[in-house]
Amino acid sequence: MMDKKIVLLLATVFGCMVSSTYEQAFPMFRNVDGLTIAVTCDDGTTPQIYPASMIKCTASSEYDRNFPCQRALSGPWERNFYRGWASKRQGAGAWIYLSFKDSIVVQMLRIIQRFMSYNSARTLSIEYDDGTTEEVELSVIGSVDWNEKRLDRYIPTKSMNITIKRIYPTLVPTNAGFKAIQIVACKNK
């Protein structure tokens, strides 16, 4: 593993966000009037992955006790079928509600879909605690990689409700859900 100081230095120089384990850096840029600039929080710091230990969740349903919603927040993903949250015979309409310990400004939503592609969500609706919503499209099917979606709303929130609006076409009954969810955010002052 790379030394933490070196990773932090590289992240600062290249305008990246560093995960809480300091093992990987994620580029955090946005386009403003044609210029690409590094994303920073209001206090000048870089957005960080909000700790799973500070998130409580509930879900529309859970397939069984092996697939509770908290498993989607439980850290690094694995190519393991029994990892993550699975709904019980739900596709479109399945939801997971995330409640944060602190008020945060969400910058990015990172999601890994469930292992089987027929359980993959296509469109999500994200509702914040003030009732505003936004939709995001997920392009990575199955659990091969992260879907990283920059969010448009930069207003403090204490919760998010993520609802699956559309799933990828399937002939098999679906148990939609997510293998992993990470919230990249700034602390609200």
CA 68: distance to chain centroid?
Answer: 16
- 53's CB contacts (< 8 A; 6+ apart) are none
- Residue 15's pLDDT is what? 43
Tally of CA atoms within 13 A in the half-sphere of 124 that contains its CB: 28
Which domains occur in the chain, in start order? Answer: 1-39 (no CATH), 48-187 (2.60.120.260)
The string of pLDDT tens digits covering residues 56-106 is 999 999 898 888 888 888 755 555 566 788 889 888 999 999 999 999 999
Ranges 19-33, 123-137, 159-173: which has the least confidence: 19-33
Distance CA 10, CA 15 (A): 8
The pTM for the full model equals 0.77
- Give the burial class of 126: count Cβ atoms within 10 A of its Cβ; 0-12 exposed, 13-18 middle, 19 or more buried: buried
